[in-house]
Amino acid sequence: MRLLIADKLHPRAIEELRTLPVEVIYEPEITKETLQNHFAGVGVLIVRSTQVTAEAIEGAKQLNLIVRAGAEYDTIDVRAASRRGIFVANCPGKNSSAIAELVYGLMISLDRRIPDAVTSLRNHQWERRDFSKAEGLWGKTLGIAGFGAIGRDVAARARAFGLNPIAWSRSLSPARAAEAGVGYASTLEELASRSNIVTLHLPLTEKTRHIVSRRILGFLPKGALLINTARADLVEQDALYEAIEKGLRVAVDVYADEPKGKSNYQCTLLNARGVVYGTPHIAAATDQGQLAVATEAIRVIRSFLLEGTVPNVINVANVASGRFQIVMRMLDKIGTFANVLAVLKRHGINVEEVHNTTFEGSGAACAKLRVIARPSEACLTEIRAFEEVLHVDVVTLPIFA
């Protein structure tokens, strides 16, 4: 089996991957247009920012697993992967410290106008009076939109800066917020209205696209700061330009039209009439962060290759629809299991999950088959007729809300 790395990955991770029973192909310059030309013999794919389209997935006949070396996976057509029975896994929370550090770097830069002050000095200017007009961060309220690993890391650093952190996410409850030591906002509108600084750490989905709309931006108080190191499309761009012209100070690390690799990129947002700072999508790009993510990707792949399990898998149903379980004790002989499956197929019984356990030194095994419909007595009679089958039971599984 071949493992294709279609993005840059930490060198130490590549060395460790080469110790696994797989041929490692390192092609960091692959693009979404050329990806499908590199799938010959590839069973495992690692990507970071390279898009994996439905067209590429359909042509990857031997692909078993896609690992996104990062938290988000909106660059992968997960539905297309699921249709072909391809696992998709990510590496959540491993670069959260790096992103949190950049958030505070951007926050202080906005308040103290550090990039402008540096540019002024390089232009042989001494504008001490102009750059001494910062407000300071102490005592301000920091609104954290999204409270996953990154949001929690941002909150953990807030007290050191004298900030009052509050948080909102759809899954956050008042109890969880209190446990994490942050204030609770019940809606994004409430978070915006109570915050002097808002930092975005939400995943990009159809529900969160443009969630920071003109209406939400209108709730921000005068002189507020907005920081986006998550996804550009979380924010309605036209409304953002208007808010900047009205005094909103903005720092971003993500853009709607990001180029791949080095490019003569024209960032129109930085030309907005107001205080806007930007970095070229580097939030997770510390050596510490990249190594942590790569190490987690290795863990996922090692588990898949050596144990047959996929940690962090995101496209396997958490709740099975099968309401019945066949529990079958049988002799551990070649063909026994195949015979039972053939009977179930004839009776139109779909098997959703299978767990088989063998007993040491006994020559016996116990199989548990989760099935969609209850097998008929005729079906069970056929199964019991096999000499290798010792006993069969059908258990009705409980329904959990």
Span 359-374, pLDDT tens digits:
887 789 898 999 988 9
3-state secondary structure of 228: strand
For the segment 200-205, the average pLDDT, to the nearest whole number, is 93
Q: How confident is the model at residue 88 (pLDDT cuts 50, 70, 90)?
A: very high
For 138, half-sphere exposure in the C-beta direction (CA atoms, 13 angstrom radius) is 0
* 256 and 360 fall within a common domain: no
- Residue 321's pLDDT is what? 65
For the segment 159-169, the average pLDDT, to the nearest whole number, is 97
Do 198 and 248 form a contact (C-beta atoms < 8 A)? Answer: no
* 71 and 51 fall within a common domain: yes
Q: How far apart are CA 79 and CA 192, in angstroms?
A: 34
* 88 and 102 fall within a common domain: no
| pLDDT tens, residue by residue, 242-293 | 999 999 999 999 998 888 766 788 888 888 899 999 999 999 889 999 999 9
Comparing 321 with 315, the larger pLDDT belongs to 315
- Residue 239's pLDDT is what? 96
- Residue 355's pLDDT is what? 86
Please state the domain count of the chain. 3
Q: Give the CATH number, domain containing residue 365.
A: 3.30.70.260
Q: Closest Cα to residue 76, out of 86, 68, 84, 64?
A: 68
* 342 and 300 fall within a common domain: no
- So which residues are the catalytic ones? 231, 258, 281
Share of the chain above pLDDT 70, in %: 98
- Residue 352's pLDDT is what? 85
Whether residue 224 lies inside any domain: the answer is yes
For the segment 330-345, the average pLDDT, to the nearest whole number, is 91
Give residue 334's domain range.
324-396
- Residue 262's pLDDT is what? 67
Q: How far apart are CA 102 and CA 137, in angstroms?
A: 16
Whether residue 316 lies inside any domain: the answer is no
* 160 and 271 fall within a common domain: yes
* 168 and 220 fall within a common domain: yes
Whether residue 332 lies inside any domain: the answer is yes
User: Considering Cα of 308, then 309, then 313, then 316, what sign does the dihedral take?
Assistant: positive
3-state secondary structure of 39: coil
pLDDT at 319 over 80: no
Q: Give the CATH number, domain containing residue 33.
A: 3.40.50.720
- Residue 71's pLDDT is what? 84
* 303 and 183 fall within a common domain: no
∠ Cα 316 17 87 (to 5°): 10
Q: Closest Cα to residue 225, out of 168, 163, 157?
A: 163
* 148 and 244 fall within a common domain: yes
- Residue 401's pLDDT is what? 42
Whether residue 313 lies inside any domain: the answer is no
Whether residue 371 lies inside any domain: the answer is yes
Whether residue 226 lies inside any domain: the answer is yes
Do 366 and 357 form a contact (C-beta atoms < 8 A)? Answer: yes
Whether residue 342 lies inside any domain: the answer is yes
For the segment 160-175, the average pLDDT, to the nearest whole number, is 96
Q: At which of 256, 274, 307 does a domain end? A: 307
* 178 and 265 fall within a common domain: yes
Whether residue 314 lies inside any domain: the answer is no
* 133 and 279 fall within a common domain: yes
* 201 and 226 fall within a common domain: yes
